[in-house]
Structure 1
Amino acid sequence: MSQIKDAARAAQVRRAAVASTVGTAIEWYDFFLYGTVAALVFPHLFFPKSDVYVGTLQSFTTFALGFLARPIGAAIFGHYGDRLGRKATLIITLGLMGVSSAIIGILPTYTSIGLWAPILLTVLRMLQGIGVGGEWGGSVLLSMEWGNQRRRGLMASWPQMGVPLGLVLSSGTVALFIAISGPGFLTWGWRIPFLLSLVLVAIGLFIRLRVMETPHFQKVVEERKVIDVPVVEVIRRHPKEIILSALIRMAEQAPFYIFISFVLSYGKTNLGFGEGFLTLATTTAGILSLFTIPFFGHLSDVIGRKNMYMAGAVLVLLYAFPYFALLDTKLPALVFLAIIVSMIPHDALYGPQAAFIAEHFPTNLRYSGASIGYQLASVVAGGPAPLIATWLLHTYGTGYSISVYIVINAVITIIATAMMKERAKVEIDKELPV
């Protein structure tokens, strides 16, 4: 009987890891797809009356609004994730994201409906942000709370791989339809990747419906420790942990959207490269992350979460100036190398990040606390990053001004990490007030 139970649990662990990773990959496919098309297409179709600089700013503004919506999604779905469970909440977030993206695929442009086009685009982008804001915490907890507690860094890194998977899917799909549609990409080719979201969501829902609720949340229910208003309680009990969770992401999130989204605009406008070359480079970078994210997650189980995270922040700081030095050579091989290598310092942070944040909150407040802390960084780091980078480049005329911005973010992360506790070897709820 024990062997049957062990086999059943092992099956659930595998299903949880796969469901978290696949579902998160679909969510990030939709989110990154918007970022890619925002750099390549939206300035022409939704903001056609603006010059190149203003049109790019306007397009990246709608991109940023999706990040402003993410803490809202974290609060909404964190509440239900800590009250109703991880599984049910994740099914809702996946559906919300997929439908929003599919509607973008059929959205009329400025030529057809005027100002309503950018307005509707902005609303749909914010719905995407709400969906992603609720997705991350649940997917991480589904995998981490089912998995081996001595390997929390590795288990929590599996859904983190949804980011490069989503990036590879979105960049690869865009590159494919650029090749297929040719000049028609600006009229119809860009729409197909958004419509494909419905197919991906159907696959994700099928996988997630086969996973049981996590044993940690089941125990909370059995012991009647479910909190009535978890968002309010976690802010009251763990404000320091929430703020630090946001600040440790500065060196990871702001540079990431420069490395992946802004570089598409920079490479096309300032370096003279085509969309196909740039999306191939970001796709290759995403493939590399499929290996480096779980590696660094595993390494954090060995050397500790703080040590791994601090090393990653230092790597980001050290790479800030070489990154733009390589890009500005305008040599295809070196530009390609710069984009690919940029994922290594990022992944040194992103691999251990999920476990590092989640370990600082008790089970009955973990979905809310981890989600809010994680997504608050979106407001000050991820969302504004392409906007700030565009402004810095326009104002100072050099990519090195953006390097300074990256360094500042890395310094903030180093300070915040030093203030976090090391909990890699501690039982998941030990010494945490519930």
Structure 2
Amino acid sequence: MATVSETSPVTVRRMVPILAASTVGTAIEWYDFFLYGFLSATVFPKLFFPELDPVAGTIASFTTNFVGFFARPLGGAFFGWFGDRVGRKSTLIATLLLMGIATALMGLLPGHAQIGLAAPLILSVLRFLQGAGVGGEWGGSVLLSMEYGDNRRRGFWMSWPQTGVPLGLALAAIAVLSFQAIFPGEAFLSIGWRIPFLLSLLLILVGLYIRLRILETPAFRRVKETGRIAHVPLVEVFRHYWREIILSALVRSAEQAPFYLFTTFILSYGSKTLKVDSSVLYAGLIISAVCSLILMPTWSHLSDRFGRKRWYMIGCVLMALYAFPYFLLLETRLPVVVLLAMILSISFCHDWLYGPQAALISERFGTRLRYSGASLGYQLASITAGGPAPILATWLVANTHTWLGSGTPSYTLIAVFIIFMAVVSFISTALLGRELAGQAAVEDVGGEETRLTTQVQ
């Protein structure tokens, strides 16, 4: 079993096994989550909602997709309780198993033609379990990096679990593209789409092997040894940190809503409205994900140097400024320009916000309630921003000409929605409180004073 000395200096060598455990596991969970999102835009309307017209079928499919987002804060609350009571490591193992098993079962689920209405209902239940797993995963994975790392490079260390999102995105896109090539046309609708879901079982084994080799974080061990474990974490965290939870959810608006427009809605909008080949869109996701592996830690490192709040607020402005140019680039329908639009949207605008976000949120909560507080603040945005975004965007495209006239571009209201989300995040970030980049995280409340694991090196 890999061990890390609590008193040893915080070096890259010391952090590698910790970052591997948090990042690889997170990548596997997001691979599972994104698979569903991709296929909800292309395959699931035909397989599970064949009796609806194309627009209604897509909205229905995105609605089952939203079930996973609805479950995320519930999973954050449920697993946050275990994370603050039992420990980060054991909770992360549980979330990995839940997510992987639910995903594999999706690959075995018959369609509407075989079992009728039961098919979308069971699909929704499995999506709920997926969402609950992701809801509990994020808090534990970023806290591994935070509570083993130091204050000076907190944003950088915590950005690596965040890269699990583009890794999972790339893996899911590669899997879909590969099996579309192996099973072309109707063969993909019947059997090809199922294989990537079943492969999740193999990925679980990899994730478990890595996570079982790490120890509990030093910060949580100290809380446990001194008898300061929270008795009812969910009640206590709302009592002491309700303001931070609400603001954390709103802070994510400029990142969360656009991200699912850039990665899920684009597959439907690009292929059906713009008539762009789906292989171009999936290639854009893969290239963007590769760029994110470099840019996300870079933006996070810069947030350590220049201030997390300042960096994040600049990112909100950039997201708002890019809203209309993004769609103008897509409207060219030129593959190279479409790829450029996607790369800029994800690797530049989104990652500018998402990389430092883990530190920005988690450092606002004391150790004994950090898993619950950070998870709830982060996951509530899946209901207020991420989950509804593809549904709302599909509806807005279908109604823009009715409301604004036939000469109005169909993307106009979606771009306005992105700008609105950016404004919400900008104001919420300003209200978060003092800057904590390079400083110790906030002190515990409801118990004896404590500071974050390792002081500035």
TM-score by length of 2: 0.92
The correspondence for 1:200, drawn from 190, 199, 203, is: 203
Q: Distance in 1 between matches of 2:377 and 2:109?
A: 33
Give yes or no for contact 1:362–1:433 (8 Å, CA) kept in 2.
no
Gaps in structure 1 of 5+ consecutive residues: none
Aligned length: 433
SS in 1 for 2:184: helix
Query: Could you give the per-residue CA deviations for residues 68-127 of structure 1, whole angstroms, max 9, x where no partner exists?
Result: 000100000000000001000000000000000000001000010000000000000000
Question: Which residue in the other structure is 1:427 paired with?
Answer: 440
Q: 1:60 is aligned with what amino acid? A: F
**1:257-296 matches, cutoff 5 A:** 257-296=260-299
**1:280 CA drift (Å):** 1.1
**1:36-47 matches, cutoff 5 A:** 36-47=38-49
Greater per-residue helix proportion: 1
**1:9 CA drift (Å):** 8.6
Give yes or no for contact 2:240–2:445 (8 Å, CA) kept in 1.
no
Give yes or no for contact 1:12–1:212 (8 Å, CA) kept in 2.
no
Give yes or no for contact 2:40–2:62 (8 Å, CA) kept in 1.
yes
**1:432 CA drift (Å):** 5.9
The correspondence for 1:390, drawn from 373, 390, 394, is: 394
Give yes or no for contact 2:88–2:140 (8 Å, CA) kept in 1.
yes
Query: Could you give the per-residue CA deviations for residues 151-202 of structure 1, whole angstroms, max 9, x where no partner exists?
Result: 1000110100000000000011101111111121111111010000000010
Q: Distance in 2 between matches of 1:341 and 1:17?
A: 26
Give yes or no for contact 1:12–1:211 (8 Å, CA) kept in 2.
no
The correspondence for 2:370, drawn from 366, 369, 374, is: 366
Give yes or no for contact 2:104–2:200 (8 Å, CA) kept in 1.
yes
Query: Could you give the per-residue CA deviations for residues 288-331 of structure 1, whole angstroms, max 9, x where no partner exists?
Result: 11111111111111001101101111110000000011111222
Q: 1:261 is aligned with what amino acid? A: T
Question: Which residue in the other structure is 1:407 paired with?
Answer: 419
Give yes or no for contact 1:255–1:385 (8 Å, CA) kept in 2.
yes
**1:11 CA drift (Å):** 5.7
Q: 2:345 is aligned with what amino acid? A: S
Q: Distance in 2 between matches of 1:269 and 1:372?
A: 36
Q: Which moved more, 1:359-368 or 1:277-286?
A: 277-286
Q: 1:247 is aligned with what amino acid? A: L
Question: Which residue in the other structure is 2:358 paired with?
Answer: 354
**1:185-224 matches, cutoff 5 A:** 185-224=188-227
Query: Could you give the per-residue CA deviations for residues 382-428 of structure 1, whole angstroms, max 9, x where no partner exists?
Result: 00000000011001041121000000000000000000121112212
Cα RMSD for the two superposed structures: 1.7
Q: Distance in 2 between matches of 1:357 and 1:287?
A: 25
SS in 2 for 1:69: helix
Query: Could you give the per-residue CA deviations for residues 268-289 of structure 1, whole angstroms, max 9, x where no partner exists?
Result: 1001122222111111111111
Confirm whether residue 171 of structure 1 aligns to residue 184 of structure 2.
no
Question: Which residue in the other structure is 1:246 paired with?
Answer: 249
Confirm whether residue 225 of structure 1 aligns to residue 264 of structure 2.
no
Confirm whether residue 63 of structure 1 aligns to residue 75 of structure 2.
no
User: Per the alignment, do residues 383 and 151 of structure 1 end up closer, same or farther by CA in structure 2, a change over 3 Å counting?
Assistant: same
SS in 2 for 1:224: coil
Question: Which residue in the other structure is 1:27 paired with?
Answer: 29
Q: 1:273 is aligned with what amino acid? A: V
Give yes or no for contact 1:168–1:283 (8 Å, CA) kept in 2.
yes
Gaps in structure 2 of 5+ consecutive residues: 402-409, 448-457
SS in 2 for 1:262: helix
Q: 1:221 is aligned with what amino acid? A: K
Q: Distance in 1 between matches of 2:441 and 2:228?
A: 16
Question: Which residue in the other structure is 2:349 paired with?
Answer: 345
